[in-house]
Amino acid sequence: MAPAAHGVSPRHGQAALAAVAALSVFSATALWLQWARQDLDWVQATLSLYLHGPGGLALRSAYCALAVAIMLLAWSLHAGSRSPRRSSAAPLLFCVAGLGLMGVAIGDSWLPALAPLVAPLVHGLAANTAFLCVSAAMLLQSWYLRADPQWSRWAAPAWWWAWGCFVLLWLHVLWRGPPRGAGQKLVIAAVVVWLLGVALCQWRHARRRAG
């Protein structure tokens, strides 16, 4: 697909800024629950366990906010790209990851009570889809950014951070030694930092172009 002729526009910057806001909501909610849920050991308990009980609705809503952030950022990066490597593969993977997150949030709202045997299967499928698709999309998007003149300063850090997230994810999957909760939260935090950093850079690109 041919690259966009005009690069980042104010609309793309607005979408990136909305993604920053949604990512901040997710991060604040997840961090608050680590302190508020005294019944759970934050080192051992995965973030999924916080979806139920006190604050569960807030976290499920934050999951949906994160999904929206991923989709907005995917559109902003794709539509504002000037990279010759630009294609629809990365935004498609990002959107599937967002749908996976929504599947976790919405499914965990009613499936555990309505279909307790099916709920773990749906949760696992949706969560694994989200993790795998977002990590692959980050790598692919970072590869696009390396050929985009607008990203000459930040493409390399985004590329190596995306690889770090990919390695962390597979270490978490394959290495059962570390505490599961802390390991999963480290992967999530690393992904959110990448998304937040890229969204902020995209917003700044739009501001500079508008100025």
Report the pLDDT value the prediction gives residue 4, as an integer from 0 to 100: 43
Q: Per residue in 152-191, is it b (16+ CB within 10 Å) or e — as a string?
A: eebbebbbebbeebbebbeebeeeeeeeebbbbbbbbebb
Whether 3 is in a domain gets the answer no
Whether 1 is in a domain gets the answer no
Whether the pLDDT of residue 71 is over 90: the answer is: yes
Number of domains in the chain: 1
**Lowest-confidence segment of 24-28, 116-120, 190-194, 200-204 by average pLDDT:** 116-120
Distance separating alpha carbons of residues 61 and 75, to the nearest angstrom? 21
Report the pLDDT value the prediction gives residue 23, as an integer from 0 to 100: 97
Kindly give the interhelix angle for 119-145 and 56-79, rounded to the nearest 10 degrees. Answer: 30
CA-nearest of 26, 4, 6, 12 to 204 is 12
CA-nearest of 103, 97, 102 to 118 is 103
Report the pLDDT value the prediction gives residue 6, as an integer from 0 to 100: 58
Whether 36 is in a domain gets the answer yes
Whether the pLDDT of residue 208 is over 90: the answer is: no
pLDDT in tens, 8-26: 888 999 999 999 999 999 9
Whether 108 is in a domain gets the answer yes
Q: State the pTM of this model.
A: 0.93
Q: What is the mean pLDDT of the chain?
A: 93
Whether 88 is in a domain gets the answer yes
Distance separating alpha carbons of residues 189 and 144, to the nearest angstrom? 23
Report the pLDDT value the prediction gives residue 58, as an integer from 0 to 100: 97
Whether 78 is in a domain gets the answer yes
Whether 2 is in a domain gets the answer no
Report the pLDDT value the prediction gives residue 2, as an integer from 0 to 100: 40
- Domain containing 48 equals 10-210
Whether 181 is in a domain gets the answer yes
